[in-house]
Amino acid sequence: MKHAKSGGRASLEEHRRLGADLEVDIPYQWLRFFLEDDERLRQIEQDYGSGKMTTGEVKLILVECLVGFLTAFQARRAAVTDEMVSAFMQQRPIDLTLVRDKSE
């Protein structure tokens, strides 16, 4: 929670007055990638950029988002079998008719 570069200001009073600098705020930038709810992201951008929301609140939202992402990823990974890996890694012939020299 304390190691991410934030766009928050030096003091809470200054942050409330000026709002966050979203261009340098790493947790906000990560939310732009991982948060799938565009409306919620717009609300966070508005509230955080205006100083209504604090850096700690944005970081907690990011933590919730990443935990959900990682939990779903781990479940999908656990479902992969050795047979699936073998099938994926199997050598298959290349259809050379799809790879033609563009200079012809």
pLDDT tens digits, one per residue of 86-97: 999 999 888 888
C-beta of residue 15 within 8 angstroms of C-beta of residue 8: yes
At residue 1, the pLDDT reads 47
More confident residue, 29 or 5: 29
pLDDT: which is higher, 54 or 21: 54
Measured distance CA(102)–CA(98) in Å, rounded: 11
Would the pTM of this model clear 0.75, i.e. be above it?
no
Q: Which of 90, 28, 31 is nearest to 55 (CA)?
A: 28
Which residues contact residue 98 at a Cβ distance below 8 angstroms, ignoring those fewer than 6 apart? none
**5 pLDDT higher than 80:** no
Question: Which class does domain 12-66 fall in?
Answer: mainly alpha
Residue listed under structure tokens 């604090």: 54
Nearest to 31, CA basis, from 68, 77, 75: 68
Residue 101 has pLDDT above 70, yes or no: no
